[in-house]
Structure formats: C-alpha cells, structure tokens
C-alpha cells in the first residue's frame, strides 16, 4: 500500500482496525506522543464503514489532543457520506515527496565556485583562518629522521639531481601560485570518473586497503590500519588510522571523515602527523560529530570543518 | 667483512669502525614486559649518552612505538627497508626528547614472514656500525618471529616474572638460546616483583627464580602502577626520576654498560610506606580485639 507523504503532519493508518474502539485506541496512542502535538493528522481508513456519530467522536478526540484532522482517505461510500455531512475533506494521498528544484545556470555556479576558490587559495588568509581547523596537525619534517647522517649518500644524489630538483621546485611553485578554476574543475571531473570502492565495515588494526580509485568507508577506521587511495577518501565514521589520499600524486585529493583522529594524514607527497600533546585513547561515539575535511594548501595539510568552510 | 665480524665480539673498539652490541630482549611468554623493558632500557642507555637504536620485530602486532609515543612519526617500517622502498636511515625515527635514541618500527599491516633471518642479520650488522647499542624487541612465542629477532643478536636479556608459567617459558627460551652459536651471553631480568607477596610466601622469590633457571641476573624490577600510566602516555617510566621501577631500569642500563651496581633491596625501599601501613594495621587490629 502507498505510504504517502504530508507536510508538517503525519498519517495514521487504521485501515486494519475492525471496530471503532480500536481506531480510537490506536489514535489516542499516537496522539499522546510528544512529537504529535499541534500537527496535522490524516486518517487512512481504507474500507471501514463509519457513520457520522462515529466520525464525530474521532474528530473530537483528535481536536481534544491539540491536533487537527486535516483529511481522511477512504474507499467506503458510507464513510464518504458521513464525512461530507461533517465537513471533513476527503483526499487521496500523494505518494510524491517534494524535491528541491535545482536549476541554477552554469554562470552562477561558476561565480560561486570562484568565490570559494578565492577564499581558500586567495590572498586574504584572515578570512580563511577562521574556517581552518587544523587541530595542530604538523607537517612531518626531515628533522624527525636521521637524514643528516646520510651525508655521503646525500652529496652524491644532490650532484646528480640538483638541476632536476630546481626545475621541479619551480614547477611546483607555479602550480602553487596558479590554481585556477579549470584545475579544480578538471580535478573534480577526473575524480568523478574514478571507480569508487565502497566498504561497509570497521577497518581494524593491521588491515590495509589500497585502491586505484576513490574510497568510501561506512564505519570506523581504527588506529594501526591504513587506507590508501589514488582519489578521495570519505569515511562515514571516526578516522583513527593512517589515510593516504591521492597516492599517485594528485594534490587536490581530499580526506573527509566524521571525526579526524588520524595518526597520520597523507595527501599526495605531503605527510602530516598528529600532534604529540593530543592523546585521545578513544572517542565517545555518542559525541556529536562535525564532519571534517583535509586538503593540501601551500604544501601543508589543513583540516577544516565542512559546514564552516566552503565546500568544493 | 671478516674484520667486522671479529669486532662484534668485543664490547668496544678503539678502531675507526664503531661496533655496537646487539641485544635481543625476549621472554617466550607474552605479557611479561618485553616491550616495556626494551623501551625503558633503551631510553636509559640513551640518557647515559649512548647511541641506541631499537628494532621492533613484532610484525603485525607492533607496540614499541606506542610506548615511546612515536606512533605518529612512523612513515617507513622495517618491511620497507627490507623491500628496498627506502634507505635504512630514512626509516629510523628519532625520539622526541633524546636525539641519541632511534626506533626502527615494525610494519603493522604485514606478518612475520615479511622479513627473513638473513635480512634481519644484515640490518643489525649495518646498524652496529653507527650505534653503541642495538636493542631487538622480540615477539612472544618461539616461532619465526623469535628466530628472526634472535638471528642478528649476540647477547640476550630474558625477561620473566616470578610466576611458574613465565619461568617455565623462560627456561625453554634459555635452552633455545644456548643452542645458538651467535648468542654469546644471556642474562635474566625479573619483572613485576611484588616484595610484599614474596614476603608472605605467595610469590616466588628472586632467589627461587634464579635457582630454577640457573642464569645470571641483570636486574629486578618491582611492580609499579606508574608503568600503566607511562604506557598510556607514551613516555617510558625511566623519565620519571621518582619512580622505583624507573630507577631499577636505570640500574639495569648501568649494568649493561659494565658498571657494578648492587641490586636494589626492594624491601628496604618500600619500608617507609610499609612501616606506616603496619603501624596503622597494628593499631586497628588492637582496637578490634
């Protein structure tokens, strides 16, 4: 049977009832709920025959509970007659849920996008800072490792690659400066084309998932696990392990999670680690989560709350 | 190559090539405190100015990084080194406080078969050149993980607790170590000793354990609740000067370095608290009577 939909009200289906007392019992139970106060009530009566006095008592009951009998739906002739005499309207349920229409033109979307880009990559970082919420995540630097002891090997490699290094640095700088609308658009297009791995379970310590496309995980990602994807990573849960988005070099890749508690975040070749002073043994799952998104800006990983920032 | 092999037998060399000692910390039984011991001895040695590297060979169940609070810094692991995705020194994570201390982490997403005995031997040999001490954290059990960990070592510390099951497993481990030619010496570390229980004959005494295992003792570590908090914080207990267990670990480190330190008398150490407790319990007892 069609369930139907009604705005700012609810439907009570009593078509299975045999007696009027059953209808009244069912109705009083429903109307007693705190959510039901002051809302419109629609009755689904099906083929039940009701005379005008029975319908009057039902209407009185609904009104006594601070609600309003909006309309009824019935197939019985007798019920229709008594409804007419009492002035209760009869309607069939619409089974369509109204959807917001979206018909903005390309130009308006582009303008919005441009504004958003300005906010993220533009020259006024003040506005940005309020949206950035990087939890003190720190880019992993060479000082953490024993690079300086590699002196011998280093010097050799530097001699060979010094020119190449300079060139690649220059190219990187150019990329940093000129992030255009086209780049983002292209990236979005490309990511959309990638296959997406959809996983619906908890990822536990020691488990590793690698994908050449995007990844969507419905569940928590526990510390000690790692997730590597060439595209974006979206986690509908708490991210506690290591996540590496854009593993094949895509700097526009993003990591999204309901809660970022990752030990390390990696996007393309930028790595960031959780600050030492944050020690969260576990997160209460009853907490309200604000979805967060990690992306790369100026060779650093930033995390912002999705609803605060501008979402691209 | 022949030269370096002879150097491994001597404790310190005056020549140009530095040759450190490779010590494996093992137990057989799980949960007796191998990893805690490793983290603390390593930190204590580094505090004494030695260059120390710790290798976690517990692939798939790594914990040493957690105890040191270095989990968030690990990018490359021992498996990456073995599979030549990075150079050995790129994988060495420096300690937060002590630059003398380094960690070579285990891979969490692989199992013990990802590294072979020969590969571990090779890594130990390379690290010996640059470090005074190479501490190898061994996984529980006597299977491949144990064999790997022991492969590169020349000395061993067997951690045990004064419980029959742990002592029995330690006995088995000593037997296995004795059959290995590379291991030149092994010593016993008795962990989680509770003087009160020993006194009331509810726990095996230090002498009992030494007698059963007939092995040389290198340290006695008292049970300390501070270990739990230090583990959770990711900071070895030797950084806490007041802690009894921390001091005991410092003593172990000094003994490893060749100093002669008398064993801590645990009964005396706790005497102040114990006396007060006794005094009060005596009072309460009298009143009740």
The minimum CA-CA distance between B94 and chain A, rounded to whole Å, is 5
Q: What's the confidence (pLDDT) of residue B84?
A: 93
Contacts of B69 in chain A (CB under 8 A): 276
Mean pLDDT across chain B = 87
Q: Which domains does chain A have, with CATH numbers?
A: 9-86 (no CATH), 195-305 (2.160.20.70)
- What value, to the nearest 5°, has the Cα angle with vertex A147 and ends A144 and A151? 155
Residue B279 CB neighbours (<10 A)? 10
Contacts of B280 (CB under 8 A, 6+ apart): none
Q: How far apart are CA A210 and CA A274, in angstroms?
A: 22
For B2-288, give the CATH class: alpha beta
Which residue of chain A comes nearest to B61, CA vs CA?
A206
- The answer, yes or no, to whether residue B193 has pLDDT greater than 60, is yes
- The answer, yes or no, to whether residue A162 has pLDDT greater than 80, is no
CB contact under 8 A, A145 and B108: no
Q: What's the confidence (pLDDT) of residue A167?
A: 42
Q: What strands, in cross-sheet order, belong to the sheet with B133-137? A: B92-94, B101-104, B52-56, B133-137, B21-26, B155-160, B185-193, B217-222
The minimum CA-CA distance between B6 and chain A, rounded to whole Å, is 25
- The answer, yes or no, to whether residue B217 has pLDDT greater than 90, is yes
- The answer, yes or no, to whether residue A203 has pLDDT greater than 60, is yes
Contacts of A168 (CB under 8 A, 6+ apart): none
Of the candidate ranges A202-216, A259-273, A278-292, the one whose mean pLDDT is the lowest: A278-292
- The answer, yes or no, to whether residue B285 has pLDDT greater than 70, is no
The minimum CA-CA distance between B242 and chain A, rounded to whole Å, is 23
Of the candidate ranges A125-129, A141-145, B63-67, the one whose mean pLDDT is the lowest: A125-129
The minimum CA-CA distance between B111 and chain A, rounded to whole Å, is 9
Which residue did the predictor score with more confidence, B55 or A76?
B55
Task: Provide residues of A within 8 Å CB-CB of chain B.
Answer: 140, 143-147, 149-150, 153, 205-208, 223-226, 263-264, 271, 273-276, 279, 281
Would you list the DSSP string of B127-139? HHTT-SEEEEEPP
The minimum CA-CA distance between B213 and chain A, rounded to whole Å, is 36
Nearest to B94 among A144, A273, A279 (CB): A144
- The answer, yes or no, to whether residue B98 has pLDDT greater than 70, is yes
Contacts of A208 in chain B (CB under 8 A): 109
Q: How far apart are CA B283 and CA B288, in angstroms?
A: 9
Instruction: Give the residue extent of every domain in chain B.
Output: 2-288
Nearest to A149 among B73, B89, B232 (CB): B89
Q: How far apart are CA B107 and CA B79, in angstroms?
A: 6
Q: How far apart are CA A58 and CA A50, in angstroms?
A: 10
Summarised one tens digit per residue, pLDDT across range A32-64 is 766 666 677 777 777 778 888 888 888 888 887
Which residue of chain B comes nearest to A261, CA vs CA?
B72
Confidence of residue A24 (pLDDT cuts 50, 70, 90): confident
Which residue of chain B comes nearest to A146, CA vs CA?
B89
Backbone angles phi, psi at A219, to 5 degrees: 140, 175
**Residue that has been written with the tokens 């999204």 in this structure:** A256
Contacts of B113 (CB under 8 A, 6+ apart): B144
Q: How far apart are CA A286 and CA B124, in angstroms?
A: 47
The C-alpha torsion from B171 through B174 and B179 to B180, rounded to 10°, is 150
- The answer, yes or no, to whether residue A179 has pLDDT greater than 90, is no
**Residue that has been written with the tokens 């962990």 in this structure:** B191
What is the complex's ipTM, to 2 decimals? Answer: 0.72
CB contact under 8 A, B75 and A271: yes
Arithmetic mean of pLDDT, A134-146: 56
Q: What's the confidence (pLDDT) of residue A259?
A: 87
**Count H helices, E strands: chain B?**
13, 8
Contacts of A205 in chain B (CB under 8 A): 108
Q: How large is the angle between the packed helices B144-151 and B117-128, nearest 10 degrees? A: 30
Distances (CA, A) of A214 to A20, A190, A193, A229, A304: 57, 11, 9, 6, 20
Backbone angles phi, psi at A35, to 5 degrees: -70, -20
The answer to whether A131 touches A295, Cβ cutoff 8 Å, is no
Contacts of A206 in chain B (CB under 8 A): 60-61, 108-109
Q: What's the confidence (pLDDT) of residue B163?
A: 92
Q: How large is the angle between the packed helices B206-213 and B164-178, nearest 10 degrees? A: 40
Summarised one tens digit per residue, pLDDT across range B157-182 is 999 999 999 999 999 999 999 999 89
Contacts of B285 (CB under 8 A, 6+ apart): none
Q: How far apart are CA A273 and CA A223, in angstroms?
A: 13
Mean pLDDT across chain A = 72
Contacts of A147 in chain B (CB under 8 A): 89-90
Which residue of chain A comes nearest to B109, CA vs CA?
A206
Q: What's the confidence (pLDDT) of residue A98?
A: 52
Contacts of B232 in chain A (CB under 8 A): 279, 281
Q: What's the confidence (pLDDT) of residue A304?
A: 83
Task: Provide residues of B within 8 Å CB-CB of chain A.
Answer: 60-61, 69, 71-75, 87, 89-90, 92-94, 96, 102, 108-109, 130, 232-234
CB contact under 8 A, A206 and B109: yes
CB contact under 8 A, A150 and B90: yes
- The answer, yes or no, to whether residue A132 has pLDDT greater than 60, is no
- The answer, yes or no, to whether residue A181 has pLDDT greater than 80, is no
Of B37, B1, B71, B31, nearest to B187 by C-alpha is: B37
Report the percentage of chain A scoring pLDDT > 90.
15
Q: What's the confidence (pLDDT) of residue A163?
A: 38
**Residue length, chain A?**
312
Which residue did the predictor score with more confidence, B154 or A139?
B154
Best of A146, A156, A207, A226 to disrupt the B interface (most B CBs within 10 Å) is A146
CB contact under 8 A, A205 and B130: no
Q: What's the confidence (pLDDT) of residue A6?
A: 65
- The answer, yes or no, to whether residue A247 has pLDDT greater than 80, is yes
Q: Which two tokens stand for residue A143?
A: 């000082």
Arithmetic mean of pLDDT, B75-99: 92
Query: In chain B, at which residue ranges do the beta strands (DSSP E only) sit?
Result: 21-26, 52-56, 92-94, 101-104, 133-137, 155-160, 185-193, 217-222
Nearest to B92 among A146, A224, A276 (CB): A146
CB contact under 8 A, B72 and A273: yes
Of A261, A258, A263, nearest to A306 by C-alpha is: A258
Summarised one tens digit per residue, pLDDT across range B22-53 is 999 999 899 999 999 999 999 999 999 999 99
CB contact under 8 A, A281 and B232: yes
Best of B60, B72, B107, B112 to disrupt the A interface (most A CBs within 10 Å) is B72
Q: How far apart are CA B52 and CA B75, in angstroms?
A: 20
Which residue of chain B comes nearest to A140, CA vs CA?
B73
Residue A56: DSSP 8-state:
H
The most confident of A32-41, A63-72, A160-169, A273-282, by mean pLDDT: A63-72
């Amino acid at each position: 049977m069609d369930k139907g939909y009604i705005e700012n009200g609810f439907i009570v289906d009593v078509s299975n009832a045999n007696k009027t007392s059953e209808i009244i019992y069912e109705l009083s139970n429903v109307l007693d709920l705190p959510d039901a106060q002051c809302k419109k009530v629609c009755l689904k009566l099906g083929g039940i025959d009701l005379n005008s006095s029975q319908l009057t008592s039902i209407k009185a009951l609904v009104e006594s509970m601070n609600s309003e009998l909006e309309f009824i739906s019935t197939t019985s002739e007798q019920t229709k007659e008594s409804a007419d005499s009492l002035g209760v309207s009869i309607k069939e349920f619409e089974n369509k849920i109204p959807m917001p229409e979206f018909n903005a033109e390309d130009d308006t979307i582009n303008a919005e996008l441009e504004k958003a880009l300005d906010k993220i990559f533009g020259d006024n970082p003040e506005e940005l800072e309020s949206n950035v919420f990087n939890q003190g995540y720190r880019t992993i630097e060479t000082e953490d490792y024993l690079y300086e002891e590699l002196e011998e090997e280093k010097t050799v490699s530097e001699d060979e690659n010094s020119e190449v290094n300079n060139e690649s640095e220059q190219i990187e700088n150019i990329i940093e400066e000129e992030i255009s609308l086209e780049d983002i658009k292209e990236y979005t297009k490309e990511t959309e084309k990638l296959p997406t791995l959809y996983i619906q379970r908890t990822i536990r310590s020691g488990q590793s998932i690698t994908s050449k496309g995007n990844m969507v995980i419905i569940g928590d990602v526990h510390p000690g696990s790692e997730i590597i994807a060439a595209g974006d990573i979206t986690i509908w849960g708490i991210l506690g392990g290591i996540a590496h988005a854009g593993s094949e070099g895509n700097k526009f890749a993003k990591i999204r999670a309901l809660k970022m508690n990752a030990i390390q975040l990696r996007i393309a070749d930028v790595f960031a680690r959780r600050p030492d002073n944050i020690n969260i043994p576990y997160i209460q799952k009853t907490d309200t989560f604000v979805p967060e998104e990690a992306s790369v800006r100026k060779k650093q990983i930033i995390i912002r709350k999705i609803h605060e920032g501008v979402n691209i | 190559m022949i030269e370096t092999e002879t150097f491994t037998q001597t404790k310190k060399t005056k020549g140009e090539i530095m040759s450190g000692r490779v010590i494996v910390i093992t137990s057989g039984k799980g949960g007796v405190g191998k990893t805690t011991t490793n983290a603390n001895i390593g930190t204590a040695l580094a505090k004494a100015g030695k260059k120390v590297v710790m290798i976690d060979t517990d692939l798939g169940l790594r914990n040493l990084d957690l105890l040191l609070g270095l989990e968030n810094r690990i990018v490359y692991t021992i498996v990456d080194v073995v599979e030549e995705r990075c150079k050995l020194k790129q994988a060495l994570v420096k300690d937060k406080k002590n630059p003398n201390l380094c960690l070579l982490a285990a891979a969490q997403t692989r199992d013990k078969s990802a590294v072979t005995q020969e590969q571990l031997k090779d890594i130990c040999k390379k690290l010996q050149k640059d470090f005074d001490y190479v501490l190898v954290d061994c996984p529980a059990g006597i299977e491949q993980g144990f064999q790997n960990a022991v492969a590169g070592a020349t000395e061993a510390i067997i951690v045990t607790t004064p419980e029959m099951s742990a002592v029995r497993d330690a006995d088995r481990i000593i037997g296995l170590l004795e059959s290995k030619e590379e291991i030149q010496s092994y010593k016993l570390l008795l962990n989680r000793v509770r003087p009160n229980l020993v006194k009331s004959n509810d726990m095996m005494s230090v002498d009992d354990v030494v007698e059963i295992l007939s092995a040389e003792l290198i340290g006695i570590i008292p049970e300390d609740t501070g270990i739990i908090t230090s583990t959770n914080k990711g900071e070895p207990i030797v950084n806490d000067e007041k802690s009894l267990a921390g001091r005991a670990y410092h003593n172990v480190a000094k003994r490893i370095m060749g100093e002669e330190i008398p064993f801590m008398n645990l009964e005396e150490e706790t005497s102040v608290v114990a006396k007060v407790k006794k005094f009060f319990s005596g009072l309460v007892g009298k009143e009740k009577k």
